[in-house]
Chains A and B, each alone.
Chain A
Amino acid sequence: MEITITPYKHCDLVKVKGRVDSATAPQLLEALNAKVESGRYKIILDFSELDFISSAGLRVMISIQKICKRYNRGEVVLASVPANIYSALDLAGFTSFFKIYNDVLAAVGSF
């Protein structure tokens, strides 16, 4: 898994590439925790090059979303979600917890 963070004026773009499983989910949690601890609560997860995400990754997504949405201070949105990963999010009931945009540009524009 590779994480690339690009800060924008109103939000942060976090690109997650490769495989999020029990081995790599702790690194994703650490990266996202560092963002929210620095007071940045508007986060885009760019999944365009994400190959796989397990329940360990989904747990990270939901715990960060809970923190970001608290006090209406922000939220995590998703961009460029591959079809297989969308199926996993949908089955887990996550599609109602995250706004999903077709591309990063639309996601950035939403903030």
Chain B
Amino acid sequence: MTTVVFPGRYESLAKIGEFVRRVATNAGFDSLATYTVETAVDEACSNIIEHAYGGEERGDIECTCNETADKLTIILCDQGEPFNPDEVVEPDLSLSLEDRDNHGLGLFFMRKWMDEIYFEHPTGGGNTVIMVKRKMRTM
């Protein structure tokens, strides 16, 4: 289990991406599976900065990666405002270009590309997002 704390700013996203990419690659995930994990974590961290903290430099993002024989679990913790994923409307992919809304895609990627995802609100405040990617999954 490895935990790294990153400052809650958009510049951190590249470093967070590098960190989870290395963990996923070492865990044996192929290029696409690694990309899906990097995407889910990037989207979750962008949401933390934008929605939980309401901007940059308001708090940290704690990223924990835990690899076991059959899966990789990534836990992201913040101290921001509670985030309710149910309030985010899923994008309607059947819409035309003109009618297509530009939001909701981040959460959509997280849900589609990870095998399990949980949003928790710890008693001490903030948010915890737990995402699981199983090994040997056929994409």
Contacts and interface: CB of A to CB of B under 8 A. Distances in A.
A21 B46 contact: yes
Interface residues of A, number: 23
A58 interface: yes
Nearest to B110: A55
Interface in A82-109: 83-84, 87-88, 91-93, 97
Contact of A22 (B32, B38, B49, B98): B49
A34 to B, nearest CB: 20
A71 to B, nearest CB: 12
Contact of B102 (A52, A62, A69, A84): A62
Nearest to A85: B35
Q: Chain A binding site: helix, strand, loop or mixed by DSSP? A: helix
Given A66-B97, A84-B35, A54 B46 contact: yes
Contacts of A87: 32, 35-36, 139
Contacts of B13: 19, 21-23, 54
Contacts of B105: 55, 58-59, 92
A66 B98 contact: yes
A69 B39 contact: no
Interface of B: 10-11, 13-14, 17, 31-32, 35-36, 38-39, 42-43, 46, 49-50, 91, 93, 97-98, 100, 102-103, 105-106, 108-109, 112-113, 139
